[in-house]
Copies of this chain bind each other. A is one copy, B any other.
Amino acid sequence: MSEPLYCQVERNIRTYIEDMDLEPGDVLPTEQEFIKKLNVSRSTLRHALNNLQSNGLISKQQGRGTFVTEPYYEENLTRLTSFTEDSRNKGQTPTSIVITNQLIVPSDQIAKDLHIGQGDRVFCLERIRMIDGIPIQISLSYLPAKRLNNIDLTSVDFTSMSLYQLLESSNIIISSALETIEATISTPRDQALLDLPPNSPILVNRRKVFNEHNELIEIAQARSRGTHHQVKIKLRR
């Protein structure tokens, strides 16, 4: 058989939401309407709807209806993964607006944090990360040029490209990372870039990424909408 029917239904509903320009919070057609419109059985439709719900696109409420969900980003910290990879694994479409992509002379602090000398150059990459068109995160990365195998990041279009996958395809081995998380209040800049009201919470991730020789290849800060962003960790004792 070709693609299962419920998968096709899933895609149909996704495109329906897009075509109808449904915003988060909007109500979807009822099950009965979808059944007529798509000409499938209720169980098939519900299979599709359940999948969309566990992918975080919609939420159902008994007695009321089905609604488009606020998109939110769930970061999986059991492994070191990227925003792009995490989102795609959940069936979402991550894109970026590149604010800065330059080769710069680092400040003393950055140079010290990266364990590089005064004269060494550093790539500075700042992006607004979006899911399905909604801004979720501001990420700011510094990468020392001399540890990047002569890649020229400034010539790369990061609109839909994963930084980590690019590095790995250039034989740079991302080995481990140290990450700290804290909560803070959004700055005016956060509010402008992430389209937030004043006094909204922000989750701040600071990450140091190491290669196989335990050399720092990236220090990064990610500022995410606190209520649409979850970090998920699996721990063992």
Question: Which A residues lie at the B interface, using CB under 8 A?
Answer: 54, 72, 74, 76-81, 174-185, 199-203, 226-227, 229-237
Contacts and interface: CB of A to CB of B under 8 A. Distances in A.
A165 to B, nearest CB: 11
23 contacts: A72-B78, A72-B234, A72-B236, A74-B180, A77-B233, A79-B237, A80-B237, A81-B237, A175-B237, A176-B237, A177-B236, A178-B233, A179-B235, A180-B230, A180-B232, A181-B181, A181-B203, A181-B231, A182-B229, A183-B226, A184-B227, A185-B185, A201-B202
B232 A178 contact: yes
A52 to B, nearest CB: 14
Nearest to A201: B183
Chain A facing B: main interface SS: strand
Nearest to A186: B201
A236 B182 contact: no
Contacts of A199: 185, 199
Closest 3 CB pairs of A and B: A183-B226, A183-B183, A183-B201
Nearest to A79: B237
Contacts of A81: 237
A4 to B, nearest CB: 12
